[in-house]
Amino acid sequence: MKLQCVPLFICALLIGECCGSRLDRWVRTGLQYLKLNLCRRVSLPESECKKLSHLHLSGVVVYVSESGSGKVLAILPDSYSSGALQSKQSGLSVEPSADDESRTNEELYTGASAHDAVLLLDPSPGESFGHPVVLFYVDFNVTKKKCAHMDGIYL
């Protein structure tokens, strides 16, 4: 299956919620998006779309990463800057050069951007490696207008 990247944003306003209820809201919103909109944005087989539309929360594995004091980066396979990968006979490996050590993660991973949290929903956890998963970037304190401009989901 060809990797397809669609930027998905959840813009959240912090209103002193407990972390559990906040995460629950993100997951339910992400699942609703997955069920209702994903097949409109990404080309998936009809059988996969039908399966997604009937998906229950109990069948989804949720991964979340957030930092208590800063931002997090979602580093995807195509995020690493050109020239940073060094070819070896046995394949590719990531080896930081002396120049890389002085650079920030944002400079090193040019395709990555900083967010307040990253949410990943795996609608088919029993399937083998390579099946589609849905990754959401969560950004706090974003205006409704900016969220809409990023084609995000405002909470």
Query: Which one has a higher pLDDT value, 128 or 87?
Result: 128
The pLDDT mean for the chain works out to 74
Q: What is residue 116's DSSP assignment?
A: S
The reported pTM is 0.67
Mean pLDDT of 112-123: 86
Mean pLDDT of 135-147: 89
Q: Would you tell me how many other CB atoms lie within 10 Å of the CB of residue 39?
A: 17
Mean pLDDT of 25-34: 90
Can you tell me which residue has the tokens 């004091």? 69
Read off the pLDDT band of 145 (50, 70, 90). Answer: very high
pLDDT of residue 72: 83
Cα–Cα distance for residue pair 23/36, rounded to 1 Å: 20
Read off the pLDDT band of 8 (50, 70, 90). Answer: low
Mean pLDDT of 39-65: 87
Give tens-digit pLDDT for 79-116. Answer: 555 444 443 333 444 455 545 454 555 555 566 678 88
pLDDT of residue 133: 86
Pick from 65-69, 100-104, 116-120: least confident: 100-104
Cα–Cα nearest to 6, from 115, 134, 153:
134
